[in-house]
Amino acid sequence: MTRKLETFIEELEQATSLNHLQDSISDLRDLYKIDHIVYHWVSSDGEQYGCGTYDRSWVQRYVEQDYLRIDPVVVGCFQRFHPVDWKRLDWSSKAARTFQAEAIEAGVGIQGYSIPIRGPNGQFALFSASHNCDDDWWANWTEANRRDLILIAHTFNQKGLEFEKNRVPEAAKGLSPREVDAMTFLAMGYSRAQVANTLSISEHTLRAYIESARFKLGALNTTHAVARAMAHGLIVVGGAAKNAAGGWPGQQSTTDPQ
C-alpha cells in the first residue's frame, strides 16, 4: 500500500487541471476500497469547486437545496482544525436529521471522516471519506489510514490552490531552523531519543517538528521527508555535519515508519 500511495501522490502532483483531480479521486477511492471520497474547496473570493465519487443526482440536489448551509459536516468542520469522525458532529436538529436521511438514501454512507483544511486568504476546504460498514470496522480503518489521508488531503488542496483563478502564488515555504536540525540528525542516523537529547528538547516537541517538516515536504513518512529534504537541498549531510555532531551515534535508524 505504501508504494501504491507514493505512486499516487507523485501522479497527483503532476495534475494539470481540475479534470485530473476528479480522475485521481476516483482512483484513490478504488485504492482504499471504500464507497466515497470527496474534496470540496471554497476559494478566497467565494468560488466553489468539488470533485468526488458521489452520485451526480445527489450532488445536484445538494447544490439546488443549498445544503451547504445546514450540512453538519461543513458547519462542524468549519469550526475545527483537526480531522473528525462524522458521528462526533451535531446531528440533533430536525434539518440535520432530514439531511442525513437523504444523504444515506443517496448512498453517501453511514460512516464518514473529514479533514478540514485552511489555505491562504480565507480559503477553506474539506477532504472526506465515507463508507457503509459497522463502527468497529470504520474505527480501525480510520486509525490505520489517518496519516495517509491527512497527507493526501493537503496534496489535493495544494493542487486546488494552483488552479484557483486570480491566485497570487505564495512564496515557497522552507523548513524552520529546528526542522532543519531535526531532519539533519535523522539523516545522520540518530534515533529520535538521541535527536531530542542533542537538541535539548522533549521527544513530544521533536515529533511536532518532524510532523511539520513532513507535511511541508509532502512526505509519506519520516524517511521520505528526510529524502525529500536532501533532494531539495534543505539539509546537507556529510563529513562536516558528522564532525560537528561529534561522530556517528551508537544507534542508527532512518526507517521510522511514522
| Alpha carbons 161 and 167: distance in angstroms, whole number | 8
The model's pTM is 0.64
Question: What would the CATH number be for the domain defined by 177-244?
Answer: 1.10.10.10
3-state secondary structure of 227: helix
Under 8 Å between Cβ of 130 and 111: yes
| Alpha carbons 35 and 131: distance in angstroms, whole number | 5
Give the per-residue pLDDT at 117.
Answer: 84
What's the one-letter identity of residue 156? F
Among candidate residues 68, 159, 157, the one with its CA nearest the CA of residue 119: 157
Q: Where in the chain is the domain with CATH 1.10.10.10?
A: 177-244
Give the per-residue pLDDT at 163.
Answer: 72
Q: Cell numbers for 130, please give them.
A: 465515507
Phi and psi of 130, rounded to 5°?
A: -145, 155
Strands 111-118 and 84-85, bridge-based pairing: antiparallel
Give the per-residue pLDDT at 239.
Answer: 41
Under 8 Å between Cβ of 83 and 201: no
Burial of 64 (0-12, 13-18, 19+ CB in 10 A): exposed
Under 8 Å between Cβ of 225 and 217: yes
Give the per-residue pLDDT at 120.
Answer: 64
What averages of pLDDT result for each successive group of 10 residues across the chain (258 residues)?
A: 74 81 90 93 69 92 89 89 91 95 95 86 85 96 89 82 60 75 89 91 88 83 82 66 38 38
Q: Where in the chain is the domain with CATH 3.30.450.80?
A: 2-162
| Alpha carbons 142 and 147: distance in angstroms, whole number | 9
Give the per-residue pLDDT at 3.
Answer: 66
Q: Cell numbers for 154, please give them.
A: 493537503
CATH architecture of 2-162: 2-Layer Sandwich (3.30)
Give the per-residue pLDDT at 156.
Answer: 84
